[in-house]
Structure 1
Amino acid sequence: MSLETSTRRLAAVWLVFVLACVVHNVWHWGLQRRAPVTDMLAMLPRDEQRPQAAQATQALADAGSRRITVLIGGGAQAQAATAADAFLRALGDVPARHRVADADQNAWLGFYAPLRAGLLSPQAREQLSTADTETLADQALAALYQPVGGPRVGNWADDPLNLFGRWLAERGQMSRVRVQGGRLMLTDSTAPERHFALVLIELPGSGFEISAQRALQPKLDVATKAARGQGAQVIAAGVPLFAAAASEQAEREIHTIGLGSLLGIVALTLLAFRSIRPRLLVALSMAVGLAVAASVSLLVFGELHLVTLVFGASLLGVAENYGSNYFSARQGLQASERWAMLTRQIPVVSLAMATTVIGYALLALPPFPGLRQIAVFSAVGLVAAFVTVLWWFPLLDGAGLMKPTRFAHWLGSRRALWPSLGRRGLTLLLAATALLAGWGASRLRVDDDIRQLQSAPAALVAQQREFARLMQAPGVAQFFVVHGASEQQLLEREEALTAQLRGMRVHAQAVSDWLPSLRRQREDAELSARRGAELRPVLADKLGQPVALAAAPHAEIEPQAWLASPVSEPVRAQWLGRMGDGFTSVVLLRGAEAADARAGLAALKLDGVSWVDKVGEVSQLLGRYRQLMSAVLVLGFVLTWAALACRFGRASWRALAPTALASVLTVALLAICGQVLQLFHILPLLILLGLGVDYGIFLLEQPGRAETRPFLSVTLAAASTLLSFGLLALSGTPALQAFGLTLLIGVFLAWLFTPFFLPPHA
């Protein structure tokens, strides 16, 4: 059977398979509306994952993604109120809350007043447990004759020690926001003359939806302008604002970097081949690679992580080499000659593909689900792109002679400008590389902190920091997850945790602050009743008349009734409810940002309590991936050398050495330029291994100075990579910038060095 006949049959089979993968992708992403997994911890080995922590983090993220909080003012209270009214009028129909009705305030007292016997603040509980009756009586009489401070509900005889009022005061101190004149207001703790009105905006959908961002942002801008027109400062904070900034930046970069790279690649293709068909077919091979890789990976893993899609999709840029090599070799040949050309090219391109796949397949060795997904996705995608070039291109590249262009001939002939370095030249090159590598090593800094990848506008970050200072709200980056077999066990474990935190002088915000466990309610009610009975005769003696102390009512709060009441609103998002085999909640913290504080909190060991440091865990994960990827990269070079030796024997080092030197020099130059090394500098080095070795294979296969097609293929592939990936160095997103800058330097150096390593007699 001839190559043409077998290729046509295989192309038909491949078409059926590709269409099946396309249908599978449409069904999964379109009809089922499935989304990629975004939790970074899902990339950890299974025994290191904590489902409750992951679900808690997701729940907090979901709640935060719909909320924008705005502080308006900065001067007198009346000015803040006037500016807030102007803001709300300009905001229009956007759901926002600023005023608090009297009925809402009364609802709080109406809910808790019947339960007050079982509500004691920690200080009141300690006082009732340790103080003698005489001391308690003196305090009660002081409150009777000199009533100062703290709210009081009811008559003195109903609560002579004002236990309920103290409990209410403690709830109030958990937030800096106060209800003044029916408005939510805040006073700057460092400058009491500065007052702010608080406006809460709750979006109906997720703040990550681009359509919602585009509808909301103009209204926010108009409202902000209206408030500033009243001479007020506007401080806005919330996840939707950062999501909108990221969306705007991505759109801007797509229009600039994306459009620029597309125009550059199309112009290069037209100059080299005088036709757009090669570019379209190369794009087709990459699209097939993505579709097949996604479908196969979904069948293997059941889901795909967002990092897998981003990293895997970028790896398929290596497939550019296969298409560029085909059309460079095709130039100057009649359509009938393409089969003979293909026969000569198959061993070369197959070796290039195999050496690349080896590197990515190594990612499956460590016990990391994320790395295994990336390995399968990348290896399958590259093989699919290669098969597309092999079986479809000969049938789709048109009939007749593919005439070489002047530009293609000129570009390919540049190969003759490179001298082949002898032993002395190679020694000098290695010495220069060693010097630069040493300089780079002396300046090398490594930092895996996820905050290094922050790309939000500086003004937005500054607003967020000022908002956090004014509100003194708990953070959501570090927190405790509490789990119990029942609702009551959960609340009891929360109470044990908050008691420990108070001893460490760490401020906590917990559901049990507002919803004590039944055990705590009953113990407090019993303690209050006992000390009240002891207090009655002492007070009667001191007052010289009988004292009729009213018995405090004692109903009990159940979680479902509390959740259904508006009193649960401040911490309702922290009650996660049933999860797995029990119930889960989150305890948020204030003042846990310092490293030594986090270390102490992480060392706490209580039943059902887990410490979550999202920033630390993700940063640690990035660091482990960086180390693993570095080891995989070294192993990839070793195995690639072994594969090259099968075809080139002792000359195989000539195909690998340029890429090795380019990798070392890239890291050195990044360090010299002040770049802090992290994962997104290591990942592109794997791509560089595949790309650079391909350059070496294509040129070493036809090393002669008069050969123009191999150098044309390598140069077009390198230029396309630099235009598509290298321009990411202009991105405002730190991860993409690091990725692009590494490839920009590395690909250029690999292309530059490869001709130097060809045999001297070539």
Structure 2
Amino acid sequence: MIPTLPDSGLGRTHRLGVIGLWLLALALCAAVIARTPFVADLSAFLPASADARQRVLIDQVRSGAPARTLMLGITGGDAAQRAAASRTLAAALRDSGLFEQVSNGENDAWAEVGRWVFERRYTLSPAVTPERFQPDGLREAIDETLSLLGTPAGALIKPILETDPTGETRRIAEALIPAGAPRTQDGVWVGRSEPRAVLMASTRAPGADLDAMQRAIDRVRADFGPLAAQGLGLQLTGAPVFAVDSRAGIEREVHLLAAAGTVLMSLLLLVAFASIAALATALLPVATGIAAGIAAVGLVFGNVHGVTLGFGSTLIGEAVDYAIYYLIQARRHGGAGDGWRHWLRENWPTVRLGLLTSVCGFAALLFSGFPGLQQLGVFSIAGLLAAVATTRWLMPVLMPDGARGMGLRRQLGRAARELFAWLPRTRMLWLALGIFAVVAMVARGAIWGTELASLSPIDPAQLALDASLRADLGADDSGSLIAVRGDDAQAVLRRAEAVGARLDALVDQGVLGGYSSVARFLPSLETQARRRAALPAPGALQAALAEATADGPLPARRLQPFLAAVEQARQPADDTPEQAATGALAPLVNALLLKGEDGRWTALLPLTPADAARGIDAPQVRAALAGVDEVVMLDIGIELRRMYQRYLGEAQAQALVGAVVVLGLIGLSLRAPRRIVAVCQPLLLAVLLTMGGCAALGVPLGILHLIGLLLVVAVGSNYALFFDLLRDQPQPDDDTLASLALANLTLVLSFALLACSAIPALSAMGRVVAPGALLALLLSAAFAPKRPATPTR
């Protein structure tokens, strides 16, 4: 039912049609939003197209082993209780079916892997050569094995002595044990830094599937519930925990900011209009803009990132400006139902030009190679267009004469008049501050940050726990790895073997502490065939064995199982990645041998430094790998910084293009150099002063600060254009000045709320836009063109 309105010249059919179309658009947006997933992983802020190094790194961030690995610590009780709890929890997690691998130091968990290694020892051992099975080679190998019987390893060697007297199983196992293996007590892994049992679990689902990560984490906590009742504590960390907690934190922040912003804006509008109807009408462009922005991002990208959604809460501050302009400015000529006509004739062209400048500024983000920036661009453009369209067509239907209540608008208008009349006297002060800002930025030097982590909302305490558990588990933390690529799995395995031979030399020289390679337990087919060919025929081996064991403590007659095992190993039975990925080796193969979306394969070889304090000698490693095709060494920290620098440089270039387009649009519209300077000068000073303030306070600027500066230009252009519009009025009316002041106040306060967010990516925008928007209004008034003594047209 449409309420009775003054005669506005808008027929009932027109009003019904506008309201119906608006409701239909909202319904369509709601349908899209309901089916759009929400994500929070930082991979959206990594380049969509990347070089070979970056592709490997991005794959690891999105779905690699680190993105699927949980690290657990069990605290409290005594050592026996913690060991029992470790076994109980590990068994429950293995039975859940959610985890590909659960490791806690129990030998039973590796029984299948051990069986794989033992059965294939002659195709896995690099010591298998023709010389190995000559009398001298056999004698040396058997003597070495016998010498270990009196050591702690003897208990493991004795049961397989007669089937593996040359010690191939032991040699393979030693190569597979990480250099920093966890400490073992009571048959389970325990911590080094504090009394606790430690475990590691890898999920079956990829790390990018946050819902699956949430289920896995919930299952860990549920299975630990009975143990917690015994007084034990659970420590849980890892990339899945960070991702899930980040998503939850961003969701909480977005809801809190949206609620707080809505309440604050509502109070301001009630004070200004003293009308519930005006308040409800003013919030319609805001709600429509946010709904349209989310729906547009969902349609284009298939998901909405948390930072994009958080940015949507800031749209409250700008979208409500359009409503304020209309409700106040249409009221100036209201009373006969045609206030909207005067607003369209006198004020709409300026609002439209301000909208176009904002859209052009944000359109530059659409051409970014980073999905995160593209989402922000799509959201901003769709949201602003929807908010302005709602103001232009719906609000004249609902309130043709603007807001009826006065509230404190008259007092606000008088205060704004006095302030705006005084500000032109301060021009030299603002110019001096602009020079000071430039000096502060030059003195500071590098004012732009280079860390992708600046976008991360992870709590430092979580990072400290992660580092502590990682150290106890001996998880590789050097941040360096070798990536070997090829067109097929066998080509990659061959190259990994060539790389491994060179890395072995570095390990022998003490340059590296060790490395991991899939080729150690899954050699290429060529290597498997060569090692089988090195095994002698039964007669030759029996003769060589008799000579090697003559007068020795282990007679040849006891080694008949060895002869049978060698003969069996000589039979062709190739092991392929497809077979290994479905058996006991699946966790290892899936972590270190990857097939990309482009059909190419990549083998990862994580490196362990010889000295953790010094790290990896990257130049020496790269020199050792020279000549091997399609092999790159990655330092994860350096690569992330390199990507972020590229990201930042691209964003700066796009922001500059957007600013140039905005200036060009203003120039085409105004076509008077003096007016163009009057409009653009306050925008430039607002940006310089904001950046200078950050430099003076020692705040490094990042990607989201840059987006905030772009928003300052977009919003500030509206203020500057309005003051340009007022140039023909000797005494601007209080309603117009009140609309500018109230619009700026709502925007500044909404972004001030954002500045208080616990999410760095959101607070960064708030800390730039809140002061920048206020400066843009003050500077627009300070540098406004002088008005004539009498009105002119």
Identify whether the pair has TM-score above 0.5, normalized to the shorter chain. Answer: yes
- CA offset at residue 329 of structure 1? 0.5
- CA offset at residue 741 of structure 1? 0.6
Instruction: Sort the Cα spacing of 1:371 and 1:103 in 2 relative to 1 into closer, same or farther, 3 A.
Output: closer
Which moved further from structure 2: 730-739 or 87-96?
87-96
Q: Given the alignment of the two structures, is residue 454 of structure 1 paired with residue 456 of structure 2, yes or no?
A: yes
Instruction: Sort the Cα spacing of 1:279 and 1:740 in 2 relative to 1 into closer, same or farther, 3 A.
Output: same
Q: Which amino acid aligns with 2:341?
A: W
Q: Given the alignment of the two structures, is residue 112 of structure 1 paired with residue 117 of structure 2, yes or no?
A: yes
Verify the 8 A CA contact 2:609 2:615 in the aligned structure 1: no
Q: Secondary structure at the match of 1:236?
A: strand
Which moved further from structure 2: 511-520 or 677-686?
511-520
Q: Which amino acid aligns with 1:394?
A: P
Verify the 8 A CA contact 1:89 1:223 in the aligned structure 2: no
Q: Secondary structure at the match of 1:455?
A: coil
Q: Given the alignment of the two structures, is residue 656 of structure 1 paired with residue 658 of structure 2, yes or no?
A: no
Q: Secondary structure at the match of 1:428?
A: helix
> For 1:255 and 1:58, how far apart are their aligned partners in 2?
26
> For 1:389 and 1:591, how far apart are their aligned partners in 2?
62
Instruction: State the partner residue of 1:269.
Output: 269
Verify the 8 A CA contact 2:354 2:721 in the aligned structure 1: yes
- CA offset at residue 485 of structure 1? 4.0
Instruction: State the partner residue of 1:640.
Output: 662
Instruction: State the partner residue of 1:323.
Output: 323
Q: Secondary structure at the match of 2:381?
A: helix
Q: Secondary structure at the match of 1:456?
A: coil
Unaligned runs of at least 5 residues, structure 2: 1-6, 507-511, 789-793
- CA offset at residue 469 of structure 1? 0.9
Q: Secondary structure at the match of 2:575?
A: coil
Instruction: State the partner residue of 1:715.
Output: 741
- CA offset at residue 262 of structure 1? 2.0
Which moved further from structure 2: 615-624 or 596-605?
596-605
- CA offset at residue 624 of structure 1? 2.9
Instruction: Sort the Cα spacing of 1:414 and 1:457 in 2 relative to 1 into closer, same or farther, 3 A.
Output: same
> For 2:554 and 2:90, how far apart are their aligned partners in 1?
57
Instruction: State the partner residue of 1:512.
Output: 519
Verify the 8 A CA contact 1:257 1:727 in the aligned structure 2: yes
> For 1:133 and 1:412, how far apart are their aligned partners in 2?
104
Q: Given the alignment of the two structures, is residue 40 of structure 1 paired with residue 63 of structure 2, yes or no?
A: no
Instruction: Sort the Cα spacing of 1:10 and 1:589 in 2 relative to 1 into closer, same or farther, 3 A.
Output: farther
Verify the 8 A CA contact 1:509 1:588 in the aligned structure 2: yes
- Taking the TM superposition and a 5 Å limit, the aligned residue runs for 1:229-240 are 229=231, 235-240=235-240
- Taking the TM superposition and a 5 Å limit, the aligned residue runs for 1:415-564 are 415-418=416-419, 420=421, 425-444=426-445, 445-474=447-476, 479-504=481-506, 505=512, 507-527=514-534, 529=536, 536=545, 538-540=547-549, 543=552, 547=556, 550-551=562-563, 552=566, 553-554=568-569, 555-564=573-582
Q: Say which of 719, 726, 745 aligns to 1:695.
A: 719
- CA offset at residue 545 of structure 1? 10
> For 1:207 and 1:302, how far apart are their aligned partners in 2?
17
> For 2:15 and 2:123, how far apart are their aligned partners in 1?
78
Q: Which amino acid aligns with 2:188?
A: L
Structure 1 length normalisation: TM-score?
0.82
- CA offset at residue 473 of structure 1? 1.5
Instruction: Sort the Cα spacing of 1:137 and 1:738 in 2 relative to 1 into closer, same or farther, 3 A.
Output: same
Which moved further from structure 2: 625-634 or 507-516?
625-634
Instruction: Sort the Cα spacing of 1:576 and 1:4 in 2 relative to 1 into closer, same or farther, 3 A.
Output: farther
> For 2:415 and 2:671, how far apart are their aligned partners in 1?
24
- CA offset at residue 609 of structure 1? 4.5
- CA offset at residue 393 of structure 1? 1.2
> For 1:366 and 1:88, how far apart are their aligned partners in 2?
45
- CA offset at residue 693 of structure 1? 1.4
Q: Which amino acid aligns with 1:718?
A: N
Q: Given the alignment of the two structures, is residue 344 of structure 1 paired with residue 346 of structure 2, yes or no?
A: yes
Instruction: Sort the Cα spacing of 1:414 and 1:498 in 2 relative to 1 into closer, same or farther, 3 A.
Output: farther
- CA offset at residue 589 of structure 1? 3.9
Q: Which amino acid aligns with 2:548?
A: L
Deviations for 1:340-387, whole angstroms, at most 9, x for unmatched residues? 232211221122112222322344566777656654553344333322
Instruction: State the partner residue of 2:646.
Output: 624
Verify the 8 A CA contact 2:37 2:303 in the aligned structure 1: no
Unaligned runs of at least 5 residues, structure 1: none
Q: Secondary structure at the match of 1:331?
A: helix
Which moved further from structure 2: 129-138 or 359-368?
129-138
Which moved further from structure 2: 366-375 or 741-750?
366-375
Q: Which amino acid aligns with 1:344?
A: E
> For 1:692 and 1:242, how far apart are their aligned partners in 2?
37
> For 2:786 and 2:238, how far apart are their aligned partners in 1?
63
Instruction: Sort the Cα spacing of 1:309 and 1:478 in 2 relative to 1 into closer, same or farther, 3 A.
Output: farther
Instruction: State the partner residue of 1:169.
Output: 174
Q: Which amino acid aligns with 1:405?
A: M
Instruction: State the partner residue of 1:306.
Output: 305
Q: Which amino acid aligns with 2:44?
A: M
Q: Which amino acid aligns with 1:622?
A: Y
Q: Which amino acid aligns with 1:165?
A: R
Instruction: Sort the Cα spacing of 1:199 and 1:538 in 2 relative to 1 into closer, same or farther, 3 A.
Output: same
> For 1:753 and 1:737, how far apart are their aligned partners in 2?
24
Q: Which amino acid aligns with 1:19?
A: L
> For 2:596 and 2:434, how far apart are their aligned partners in 1?
60
Verify the 8 A CA contact 1:90 1:222 in the aligned structure 2: no
> For 1:21 and 1:258, how far apart are their aligned partners in 2?
18
Instruction: State the partner residue of 1:410.
Output: 411
- CA offset at residue 396 of structure 1? 1.8
Q: Secondary structure at the match of 1:564?
A: coil
- CA offset at residue 710 of structure 1? 2.4
Which moved further from structure 2: 686-695 or 493-502?
493-502
Instruction: Sort the Cα spacing of 1:59 and 1:533 in 2 relative to 1 into closer, same or farther, 3 A.
Output: farther
Q: Secondary structure at the match of 2:408?
A: helix
> For 1:249 and 1:759, how far apart are their aligned partners in 2?
47
Q: Which amino acid aligns with 2:166?
A: L
Q: Secondary structure at the match of 1:418?
A: helix
Structure 2 length normalisation: TM-score?
0.79
Q: Secondary structure at the match of 1:427?
A: helix
> For 2:599 and 2:343, how far apart are their aligned partners in 1?
64
Deviations for 1:394-419, whole angstroms, at most 9, x for unmatched residues? 0022x678435241111111122226
Instruction: Sort the Cα spacing of 1:502 and 1:520 in 2 relative to 1 into closer, same or farther, 3 A.
Output: same
- CA offset at residue 602 of structure 1? 7.4
> For 1:40 and 1:278, how far apart are their aligned partners in 2?
39
Q: Which amino acid aligns with 2:440?
A: W
Verify the 8 A CA contact 2:686 2:772 in the aligned structure 1: yes
Instruction: Sort the Cα spacing of 1:588 and 1:601 in 2 relative to 1 into closer, same or farther, 3 A.
Output: same
Q: Which amino acid aligns with 1:458?
A: P
> For 1:448 and 1:545, how far apart are their aligned partners in 2?
64
Which moved further from structure 2: 285-294 or 720-729?
285-294
Q: Secondary structure at the match of 1:71?
A: strand
- CA offset at residue 746 of structure 1? 0.9
Q: Which amino acid aligns with 2:181?
A: R
Deviations for 1:7-52, whole angstroms, at most 9, x for unmatched residues? 98699489659836853x5665545869799733764457789767
Q: Say which of 703, 725, 731 aligns to 2:751.
A: 725
- CA offset at residue 211 of structure 1? 7.2
Verify the 8 A CA contact 1:38 1:306 in the aligned structure 2: no
> For 1:100 and 1:670, how far apart are their aligned partners in 2?
50
Which moved further from structure 2: 537-546 or 518-527?
537-546
Q: Say which of 36, 51, 59 aligns to 2:63.
A: 59
> For 1:600 and 1:718, how far apart are their aligned partners in 2?
58
Verify the 8 A CA contact 1:692 1:747 in the aligned structure 2: yes
Instruction: State the partner residue of 2:791.
Output: none
Which moved further from structure 2: 80-89 or 285-294?
80-89
Paired residue total:
746
> For 1:422 and 1:271, how far apart are their aligned partners in 2?
26
Instruction: Sort the Cα spacing of 1:31 and 1:47 in 2 relative to 1 into closer, same or farther, 3 A.
Output: same
Q: Which amino acid aligns with 1:566?
A: A
- Taking the TM superposition and a 5 Å limit, the aligned residue runs for 1:158-197 are 158-173=163-178, 176-177=181-182, 183-186=187-190, 188=192, 196-197=197-198
